[in-house]
Amino acid sequence: MEETNKTARIQFFFRPFSADPKVQVVIFVAFLAMYLASLSGNAIIALTVQINHSLRTPMYFFLANLALLEISYTSSIAPLALANLLSMGKTPVSITGCGTQMFFFVFLGGADCVLLAVMASDRFVAICYPLRYTLIMSWPLCVGLVVGSLVLGFLLSLPLTILIFHLPFCNNNEIYHFYCDMPAVMRLACIDTRIHQTALCIISFVVLSLPLSLISVSYIFIVAAVLQIRSEGGRHRAFSTCSSHVLVVLLQYGCTSFIYLSPSSSYSPEMGRVVSVCLEADKFYYPEWKRDNEEKVSQKTPEKTNQVRTQDRADKGNQDIRGVSETLKR
């Protein structure tokens, strides 16, 4: 009981990026600019989809929900990180506050990963089954997929947060990070955490590999379907709608895998913090990707995919007719 009370009274501090206050101010300005750009960009996208009735399609619905997820995700990390940058790491955070932050960023980050897989499946249906797209991607299904993403994120976050914050923490209370990340907090525990680290690695592997497998399979079928489109312009438009999504997926899953799947013996706090900055930069890139994706998708709706394929079939049919006619003449 005494150990539990001691742990409950602990306050954490985040290690500054630099001991030079001027460098900290420069980093603060960079973080603040990226955070405000992310907030404004994602808010514009969500409002545009909501206001513009012509964008009431499953693809834009998923984009809007991803934008809202990103607003929530970055807001769960950025304010505390910005405060610590200005205070040179002297802003304390209670163990309850740290656990709350960890719960929300794991919850929202997990939902984000699942939603990226959902969006890949949406592209698969749009390109491979254009005639049945509106029938398959019904609104009840789309809403269910978004809600399911949130539920899976919650079911991932709750046990992981409980697992880590049941550990006893002692005098070492400086987190080598700019937010309460799981590996960084776990290193402060007073006991041997190899079992906890193994559990975290296994859970992270399952959570990351399943959506990534779905994304990979979806894009295998997408590439196969697009290569069958005879129109070069049609192939280019189809690939261009997916290229930005693939880049975001690679950055998201690559950085997350490095942080949570690296062996504890080779984990470097400094490298983990650098990779987390890259992951956050990827989040700040999302609004640009969404705007770019909206422009490209507007040129490649399922109806236009159908038109391209219909034209290809018509061209092939005309060639067959001409071949039969020439044979009859002979």
Q: CATH no. for residue 218?
A: 1.20.1070.10
Q: Give 3-state DSSP helix, strand, coil % of the chain, rounded to 5.
A: 80, 5, 15
Mean pLDDT over residues 150-174, rounded? 89
pLDDT tier for residue 287 given thresholds of 50, 70 and 90? low
Name the more confident of 226 and 135: 135
Which pLDDT belongs to residue 304? 42
Report if residue 270 sits inside a domain: yes
Q: Would 324 be classed as within a structural domain?
A: no
State the residue range of the domain holding 172. Answer: 2-311
Number of domains in the chain: 1
Does the model's pTM come out above 0.75?
yes
pLDDT in the model for residue 322: 42
- Chain-centroid distance, C-alpha 294: 17
What is residue 151's predicted lDDT score, i.e. its pLDDT? 96
Residue 325 inside a domain? The answer is: no
pLDDT tens-place string over residues 76-97: 999 999 999 888 888 889 899 9
H helices then E strands: how many in the chain?
11, 3
CA distance 138 to 252: 28
Stated as kind and residue range, the H or E segment containing 174 is: strand 174-175
Per the domain annotation, does 203 fall within a domain?
Answer: yes
Q: Is residue 323 domain-resident?
A: no
In a domain, residue 330? The reply is no
Is residue 326 included in any domain, yes or no? Answer: no
Whether 16 is in a domain gets the answer yes
- Measured between alpha carbons, how far is 250 from 208 in angstroms, rounded to an integer? 12
To the nearest whole percent, how much of the chain has pLDDT over 90? Answer: 28
For residue 26, what are the CA distances in angstroms to 22, 62, 168, 179, 202?
6, 35, 36, 18, 38
Average pLDDT, the chain: 80
Mean pLDDT of 59-73: 91
What pLDDT is stored for residue 288 in this prediction? 54
